[in-house]
Chain A
């Protein structure tokens, strides 16, 4: 049993120092990467005083190369440790700065990334990159189609 959730609680979960101290993870806006020239492109921003990556969930249609622009619109310094095959990518983002990262990721599956300075990660600056799609046919099991949830 759980009591009915008041609207103010829901609003308070979507901001800094609302219901909790920071902002809980896994919420926020959803964005899609765009494809051109065989590469995927997307922009993620850090809005003023929100301590989140926006979109918080960035969706790639499939695995491959992502050219990511990251813009820090906040009046504090942050950073990003980003997933990438071979090694994580690191970028330091001082107040009002922008930079780029080239990421190679497999799909399907999703990856967390975050700003490792202070406890930005716990405060809300932890985002996800979701990679959709299927594995190549040659990697699949030889069996009849099976039910999925």
Chain B
């Protein structure tokens, strides 16, 4: 019997990363001096991509012009970093790369699915360090095992974990410095957001809008992880906005409005622009009569206090799952401080961001049947799942005419560039009881697999007119990037990464990456050489935004492109 045998000493289990050839284990101390002042002026150091959107304004625009319309045709992959997938992890079929790679003085910080974060040599792709947060297999994830990125400051890297912690790591070693849980996984909460550094705080938001939670944003001290504030996006009874919820019952307590994408920030107005998600249950409005503030809103919040200062609701009393979590891009127009927002509901909104008042609203997708928004912002619903058991078809479907994947704005052309999904869906209302941690949709939903389309649209915010359109046979489901080289880069579900002339829309370059795009490309330089980096790996809520791509090859790679030396 083995129990009578003298056992061989197998020793102590080791860190798995030490069994990876080429693993370095540390990174140069590049983030030591990254602070609020530097992030405020992020666009003045285009060699770096310092924060999620590249800058607080969310424009996803870089002034770099070494790669330009004249030479982009020569762009080649310089390196590829492969993550791979091992063992049984949550979202076994839905993992996807959705991050925006940050780059600071030649070091790239990029997150993956399932709690991964890596520091890479941005010039060679070598793995400097890795951190892997163990993620519970059973954590509730409405939309895949994903993470949208990290933030850096004061020698630390910050990320949210699937089980709703925000953690701070040593940017040189990847070792844990502090760990703060900020969501309740038993209630259906999770976290996928890329944190944002503002002043001496790291700002995060919660996921879980399909599970009947109460959405919130949270701020923590960079240094210690001490909580500064929490801002609930659903008011409790008696608070402003509570009159838009039923007076009786607890619909407000299950109302959604999660902040699962990163806010933009205006330092002069001292306002964070949070983007809030759908009300819950998504499709059954009968249990939550009223406008349901502050779901489907931009909510301007004082970053010092977490106090709401202004808002605009893009889809009042949403019954189509039209989250408004997609970005509010800050730009100037005719001397006014504006924001631009492409909503799931198919309309492009230009607001005066000083008070979130409407300047212009225009449709940006060809098919809109759910209802209509007139030029004054008046919303008229027309088609929605109203009767129990009766299927209703509408455009856009619940992933919207544009999902969370981000548009960009070029101050050089004065145009917005939006990835558009022209996809419909059928919803059949099925009322159900609320139970914590159980999906709370209030309908059965099937998204169209046929008669779908996609395009990359260039839109003039001054007129609302579309200047050009690149038509794609697939919906465009990835964020786009604009550069000073008069280029716009966009990936698609088939894995093709393309470069366009920002002024004309002419296709100038493309490369097939082998898996679909659902992430955020960024750009930077190392030793004076410009790179375009894009995480590639399709998955996540494919059944929602493009079920026709459910069988698209998975992947987990970061590609970096550059011109030949």
Give A residues with C-beta under 8 Å from B: 48, 70-75, 80-102, 104-106, 108-114, 116, 121, 126, 128, 131, 134-136, 138-144, 146-149
Contacts and interface: CB of A to CB of B under 8 A. Distances in A.
B87 interface: yes
Interface in B178-235: 181-187, 189, 212-214, 216, 227, 232
Which 8 A/B pairs are nearest by Cβ-Cβ distance? A109-B136, A99-B10, A101-B13, A73-B2, A89-B13, A97-B8, A143-B253, A112-B88
B2 A112 contact: no
Contact of B13 (A82, A108, A131, A134): A82
A148 B131 contact: no
Given A74-B2, A84-B134, 5 more contacts: A88-B132, A98-B9, A110-B137, A135-B164, A142-B214
Interface in B62-76: none
Contacts of B435: 146-149
Interface in B541-561: none
A71 B2 CA distance: 10
Chain B interface size range: 35 or more
Dominant secondary structure of chain B at its interface with chain A: loop
A114 B19 contact: no
Nearest to A126: B88
Contact of B186 (A91, A93, A102, A135): A135
B10 A147 contact: no
B213 A91 contact: no
A74 to B, nearest CB: 7
A97 B11 CA distance: 9
Nearest to A143: B253
B11 A99 contact: yes
A146 B436 contact: yes
Residue with the highest number of chain B CB atoms closer than 10 Å, among A94, A106, A147: A106
B421 to A, nearest CB: 32
A127 to B, nearest CB: 10
A135 B13 CA distance: 28
Contact of A101 (B6, B12, B254): B12
B138 A90 contact: no
A85 B189 contact: no
A111 B136 contact: yes
Given A71-B7, A84-B134, A88-B16, A106 B163 contact: yes
A102 B134 CA distance: 13
A12 to B, nearest CB: 24
Nearest to B164: A139
Contacts of B189: 141
B13 A87 contact: no
Contacts of B463: none
Contacts of B438: 149
